[in-house]
Amino acid sequence: MNAIVDDAARLLDAAARAAKTAAGTLARTPRPAKDAALIGAAAALRHATPTILAANAEDLAAAPGLSGAFRDRLALTPARIGTMATGLEEVAALPDPVGRVLAEWTRPNGLRIRRVAQPLGVIGMIFESRPNVTADAAALCLKSGNAVILRGGSESTRSAAAIHACLAEGLRAAGLPEAAVQVAPTADRAFVGAMLRAAGLIDLIVPRGGKGLVTRVLEEARVPVLAHAEGLCHTYVHEAADPAMARRILANAKMRRTGICGATETLLIDAAIAPTLLPLLVADLAALGCGFRADARARAICPELPAANDGDFATEWLDSMLSIAVVDGVEGALAHIRRYGSEHTEAIITEDTAAAGAFLDGLESAVGMWNASTQFCDGGEFGFGAEIGIATGRLHARGPVGLEQLCTYRYQVIGTGQVRP
């Protein structure tokens, strides 16, 4: 066991030192070269679509016991590869975040002070199953001047390698170091441990996956962590909701893609509207193949619903299952969310502006929505081109993490010969 840990540490040390050197180059690389690498990688992805699909088919065949939602996250299609390529091009089209003057002021003594955006350095990205994260994370890190070491789940090893080959092709064509984007050279879990202990070599760890992964990272990391916790998202249907809108939004928020972190996991419905609207919402979702876990007040209206226990409301289903609770007004909805939520994304459906304001202002979650599906919590939908994850912590960044959130800053002080008295 010690030999495996030692081997992982050696592999990580070599990768991180190469990434550190590459990060120094990227921090000073002008925008045209970074954009050229992204555009070249996008072209390579499209050209290599058959190769990527073949690798993905091998990954899927090697994991026959996966749930439907998990297989959906792992599976690639020509359309999804096309979306990855388009995402790279969209990131290339975004403004360069590096070198932006965030603030500037002049002191009474004539000193001019600027706060200027700069890259974080080397980012360690640890994620599960979704191979498209390889391209999304690489694009954002590259454009923001950061090097990245990507460690995906063992179930997506072949897919990630095929995608990484396209990214490396784009880097080579642009004359940038291939070490700027690396995939972990081993699928052994010991490599994750080595990443988490790599203080001084890796500047930020970004975990993207289930509760078990994020918990391990938070417990073991000696490197700063930008945590992406569970997506226990809620949709609250207020008494002043438009019924047709509520039905349309909830069906999308729950069933569009059940295995993503922005999917609604709990329906909160106002007691004032529940007797008439809840049966319609249940029928809509049941017709789409959704199952339910409901509290006593919901079951009093729809007796056929299975009973929920307390743990159900704290469960990120990532599947065709929805928890349902009847609540009393905005404060009741907020109380439920504070008790069970993960501070990810919550939505209110209402035509009452005051109620919407009270709900949005009362949330502690990273993202609050009004009359929109929770599945819009996505970097691409926010105009970020892509996202490296959805941050649910309180420090540095919250919500979809794009280019600006992958930068820190430094100060530049410009004088004309001033000395301090």
Question: In the prediction, which pLDDT does 135 show?
Answer: 94
pLDDT tens for 128-156 read 878 988 999 999 999 999 999 999 888 89
Model confidence at 65, pLDDT cuts 50, 70, 90, reads: confident
Distance of CA 330 to the CA centre of its chain: 28
pLDDT, one tens digit per residue, over 214-251 is: 888 989 999 999 877 788 999 999 999 999 999 999 99
Residue 88 lies in a domain: yes
196: left (phi over 0), alpha (psi -120 to 50) or beta: alpha
Is position 399 within any domain?
no
pLDDT at 326: 98
User: Distance (Å, rounded) from C-alpha 178 to C-alpha 22?
Assistant: 8
Q: Is 391 inside a domain boundary?
A: no
| pLDDT value at residue 341 | 94
Residue 178 has pLDDT above 90, yes or no: yes
- With contact defined as beta carbons under 8 Å apart, do 328 and 309 qualify? no
Answer yes or no: is pLDDT of 290 > 90.
yes
Question: 171 and 262: one domain?
Answer: no
One domain, residues 168 and 69: yes
- What is the C-alpha to C-alpha distance for residues 356 and 363, in angstroms, rounded to an integer? 11
Upper half-sphere CA count for residue 411 (Cβ side, 13 Å)? 9
Q: Are residues 220 and 246 in the same domain?
A: no
Q: Please give the sequence-ordered ranges of beta strands (E in DSSP) within 179-247, or none if there are none.
A: 181-183, 204-208, 233-237
Distance CA 224, CA 183 (A): 20
Whether residue 6 is predicted with pLDDT greater than 90 in this model: the reply is no
Task: Report the CATH number that the domain containing residue 30 is assigned in CATH.
Answer: 3.40.605.10
Average pLDDT over residues 22-43: 97
Cα–Cα distance measured from residue 262 to residue 378, given in angstroms and rounded to the nearest whole number:
8
Structure-block tokens of residue 221: 């990391």
Give the pair of three-digit tokens for residue 20. Answer: 């550190």
Q: Is a pLDDT exceeding 60 seen at residue 61?
A: yes
Residue 394 pLDDT: 77
pLDDT at position 193:
93
Q: Say whether both 158 and 61 belong to one domain.
A: yes
Judgement on whether residues 11 and 143 belong to the same structural domain of the protein: yes
Please say if the pLDDT value at position 415 is more than 90. yes
Q: Could you tell me if 29 and 154 lie in one domain?
A: yes
Q: How far is CA 241 from CA 270, 275, 295, 337, in A?
A: 9, 14, 21, 19
Confidence of residue 386 (pLDDT cuts 50, 70, 90): confident
Token output for 301: 């209206």
Residue 396 lies in a domain: no
| pLDDT at 91 > cutoff 70 | yes
Tell me the β-bridge partners of 118.
408
125 with 35, same domain: the answer is: yes
Q: Is 204 in the same domain as 243?
A: no
Total domains, the chain: 2
Same domain membership, residue 246 and residue 163: no
The residue type of 342 is S
For residue 394, tell me if it sits in a domain. no
1 pLDDT band (50/70/90 cuts)?
low
Q: Is residue 389 part of a domain?
A: no
Based on the domain organization, do 175 and 323 belong to the same domain?
no
Mean pLDDT computed over 158-180: 97
Which is it for the CA torsion 87, 93, 99, 105, positive or negative? negative
Closest CA to 69 of 333, 278, 316, 269: 316
Residue 186: how many CB atoms within 10 A of its CB? 16
| 221 plus 303 within the same structural domain | no
DSSP letter at 185? S
Cα 27 to the center of its chain, rounded Å: 24
Averaged pLDDT, 49-60 = 96
Opening angle at CA 330, ends 328 and 332, nearest 5: 45
The whole-chain average pLDDT of the chain stands at: 94
Expressed as residue numbers, the domain containing 17 is 2-226+410-414
CB 294, CB 308: distance < 8 Å: yes
| Residues 340 and 321: beta-carbon distance below 8 Å | no
pLDDT for 69 beyond 80: no
Q: Is residue 405 domain-resident? A: no
Report the range of poorest mean pLDDT among 184-193, 197-206, 308-317, 408-417. Answer: 184-193
Q: Are 114 and 412 in contact (CB under 8 A)?
A: yes
Which contiguous run of DSSP H or E holds residue 367?
strand 367-370
Quick one: 211 and 300 in the same domain?
no
Residue 284 falls inside a structural domain = yes
Domain CATH for 243: 3.40.309.10
How far apart CA 352 and CA 342 sit, in angstroms, is 26
Note the pLDDT tens digit of each residue in 246-287: 999 999 999 999 988 899 999 999 999 999 999 999 999 999
